[in-house]
Structure 1
């Protein structure tokens, strides 16, 4: 009996290690995009990844045919949304790193954009995951895409007032 349990636990650990080795890079990149941290300095993203992997490991035996990557991604997204909401309010006042490609976006825009474009999650699934209407997810994704593709130009510096009056 103990031998079977030990063999089952060892198999479970090997399966999860293989999953984590294959999925952690992509999940970390998604978490880094969500937190808008620099890729080389991303403690919040690493914490999100650790929590998502721990949650997936805890559910490993109950997944029964479910995709473990989908489970980890869902937890990552919902944890990011919940943490941002509770810690920084509805608008999310965490300061993104200016080196992040998504620094100009709000946390909700980053979340929708990462799920839709980077992860390829359908609008309906994204809407269900975030508790938003599909139309709202579509609008947020369009606005975020436009912001990333066509960033606002910095305001022109006024000319020297002494030379402008001449």
Structure 2
């Protein structure tokens, strides 16, 4: 009886809270991979996720059967791509960490969507507004960069110490 009398806003809020409770961890992980921040120090990732979730909440009633996870992931990817475009050559950046730090933001975005999220090539291309061939090339380039170990100079080798005579 109470459920029927509850306001539509209350129902909407409960549905959204249930969605966030189930999906926020994975979405935060995606945002952290995109920003290449450390998992325990990821303010950019948290900001991206907060803005994507706010957009999903604002659109909640219009989703009508659309997958809210996919919708939020698209907003997250779009906002990351937008911010990456405007950050080029801009302010000083935080130190990136992890294996994905070696990739460009576009390579990172495509690698996360294709490899971590399992999105199809044509779906990724449509989401990003790129030709499928370009998505394939960038994904291949990212895989090669991830497979190749980062160059680090070898430690100096010291010879045997000779005692003075």
Bin the TM-score by the shorter chain: 0.7 to 0.9
Please give the alpha-carbon distance, in whole angstroms, between the structure 2 residues aligned to 1:93 and 1:119. 30
How many residue pairs align between the two structures? 156
Please give the alpha-carbon distance, in whole angstroms, between the structure 2 residues aligned to 1:144 and 1:20. 30
Over alpha carbons, which structure has the higher Rg?
2
Q: What CA RMSD, in Å, does the superposition of the two structures yield over aligned residues?
A: 2.4
Partner residue in 1 for 2:15: 15
Unaligned 5+ runs, structure 2: 159-165
Please give the alpha-carbon distance, in whole angstroms, between the structure 2 residues aligned to 1:139 and 1:54. 33
Describe the shift of the 1:144–1:38 C-alpha distance in structure 2 as closer, same or farther (beyond 3 A): same
Partner residue in 2 for 1:52: 52
TM-score, with length taken from structure 1? 0.85
Partner residue in 1 for 2:69: 69
Partner residue in 2 for 1:163: none
Partner residue in 2 for 1:164: none
Partner residue in 2 for 1:153: 151
Please give the alpha-carbon distance, in whole angstroms, between the structure 1 residues aligned to 2:92 and 2:149. 20
Alpha-carbon shift at residue 97 of structure 1 (Å): 2.0
TM-score, with length taken from structure 2? 0.85
Partner residue in 1 for 2:133: 135
1:43 partnered with 2:50: no
Residues 10-67 of structure 1: CA distance to partner in whole angstroms, max 9, x if unpaired? 1111000000011110000000000000000000000000001000000000001100
